[in-house]
Amino acid sequence: MLDSGVRAQFDLTEEQRQIAGLAAEIAQREIAPHIAQWDREHTFPRALYTKLDGAGIMGILVPEAYGGVGADYVSYSLAIEELARIDAGTAVTVSVHSMICSAILRLGNEAQKRQWLPELAGGDTIAGFALTEPDCGSDAAALRASAKRVDGGFLLNGRKQWCTNGSYAGVTMGMFRTGGAGAKGVSAFLVDNASPGITVEKVTEKLGIHTSNTCDLAFDDVFVPESALLGNEGDGFGSAMTALAGGRIGIAAQATGILAGCLDQSVAFAKYRVAFGRAIGAFEGVSFKIAQMAMDLDAARLLVYRAAGLADAEKPFVIEASKAKLFASTAARKHAAEALQIHGGYGYTTEFAIERFYRDAKITEIYEGTSEIQQIIIARSLLGKLD
């Protein structure tokens, strides 16, 4: 595989380089030989995550005190990138799982940390996320699913759509309305998926990321104890935004990995494929596309590493995470199309991985906040709220 000058020259620690190398090795050994079949059959490779746990990747952000590796966000970003370089679906499964681990660390009390983090870090339990509803997506403050206070806890009711990892999760971070209208009426809960009343209503068939599980969950009088409340009552919208800010680093890294995979495939094909008596990489129409791809990969990596570095330093990183996600996802979608063009008719067939990268890239511009939402966040940081 190719490596960019930025990756080679960036001031990574030895531990960070080892984690990136380990993730790349696992992706090549455990994912690459199977990904074409998994993608074709829409397989969620549950056993894979036990193997990823053996390498510490499922608990990469969890401190050692709770059974994790205790690595930093830069290491996490590197691991996600290497997984996405082979399969974006695996990468987003780990990304969302890690996002919930991070949210529990930031927002949870000690009892919640000790209850859930060792299981999540050990790979025995996968974490899911339930925010979007049929009538609200980007406008998360408008959600309708309710949490009614009862003796000893809450009753959850409502429908959640496009829940990542939902069919396989052991615990789901869900947002429910405990108060009046608007953001201040929303609370976050850690819901045990074994609780009576939770139903997987539909597994979503998607354009891409076929190895990632996405489903609709129904909550019908689901009782959760008081201890399931994550953070303070009424702080759920802020909790969701905190989780999503960290999650955007993961999705930016996923998009960067897709872009890196496109570059790998394009360079190899441009050297191999001959037209008019020459390798097609000798023609400027192909070589210039590859040069632009390499440049944007460097830029995406720098933006991701910066956001991750700020998160590690416990400095504000929301704007930087939005910039990283916006740039990396745009570049991934653009260059997946260019990579397919370089491959010509072969790129449009399932014989080559490029058609899968092409399908997978688009979602990075949508989930964890659309590109338009990222532009709003970035613009408001410069202009303030003008209306």
Which residues are identified as catalytic?
368
State how far the alpha carbon of 246 is from the alpha carbons of 144, 175, 314, in Å. Answer: 24, 17, 12
On whether the CB atoms of residues 350 and 36 are closer than 8 A, the answer is: yes
* Token pair for 361: 């890239």
Element (H, E) at 148: strand 146-150
**Start-to-end CA span in the chain (Å):** 49
Q: How far apart are the C-alpha atoms of 241 and 223, rounded to whole Å? A: 25
d(CA 351, CA 51) in angstroms, rounded, equals: 27
Q: For residue 82, what are its two tokens?
A: 């290497």
What are the C-alpha distances in Å from 359 to residues 210, 259, 263, 298, 356? 10, 12, 16, 22, 5
Q: What is the DSSP letter of 385?
A: -
